[in-house]
Amino acid sequence: MGKLAAKLEKVTNNQEKKEKKIAEKSELTKEKMESKLNHAEENKKKHMDEVKEKISEHTSKIEKAQQALEAAIEAAKEATKAGLDEKMSKNEENKNEQLREMMNALTEHSDRIKNVRNNLDEKMKPKAQQILENMTKKEEAARELLAKQEAERKMKVEETKKKGDLVRMNKEKLAAEPSLTTESA
């Protein structure tokens, strides 16, 4: 019986040692797993911070690009407007100069006719009267032509303004469309 008790005690001691080793291994494994889990959490947080930083930088770049695009569009609008204004001003000056030249030519012609009429003698008065009437009709026709040309010029200026407005509206649409795509991105 003493042997049996010694063997039982030995088995119990072995059993306790085995349980201690299993508990120590379990504790060591638990510590390793917790360490790995903490490390994984730290890596995940670090990665999330990096992604947030990259997104912030990218958003900042997009905003800067959008502002630069808007500034370029505004500059193009101003340049186009200035070019159109200058062109219209030159056209107006040219038309006015042409009108002055035509009026001067008509005035000179009218003065010549008056001079000729004054120099005519009585025999030539009926014929001179007819010539004068023809010249008056021509002057009237010339005035009507000038009025018609002036109306056409005004219509062309109006069309040019409409085209300029259409170009500005299209550019504004183009400016609005990229801002929509950057917001949806």
pLDDT, tens digit (0-9, with 9 covering 90-100), for 39-96: 999 999 999 999 999 999 999 999 999 999 999 999 999 999 999 899 999 999 999 9
pLDDT band at 179 (very low <50, low <70, confident <90, very high): low
C-beta atoms surrounding 137 within 10 Å: 10
Report how far residue 160's alpha carbon sits from residue 153's, in angstroms, rounded to the nearest whole number.
Answer: 10
- pLDDT tens for each residue of 98-148: 989 999 998 998 898 888 777 766 567 677 678 889 999 999 999 999 999
Report how far residue 49's alpha carbon sits from residue 117's, in angstroms, rounded to the nearest whole number.
Answer: 101
Closest CA to 73 of 163, 181, 175: 175
C-beta atoms surrounding 109 within 10 Å: 14
Q: Which residues contact 110 (CB under 8 A, 6 or more apart)?
A: 135, 139
Closest CA to 160 of 84, 105, 72: 84
- pLDDT tens for each residue of 1-18: 778 788 878 888 888 888
H helices, E strands: number in the chain: 2, 0
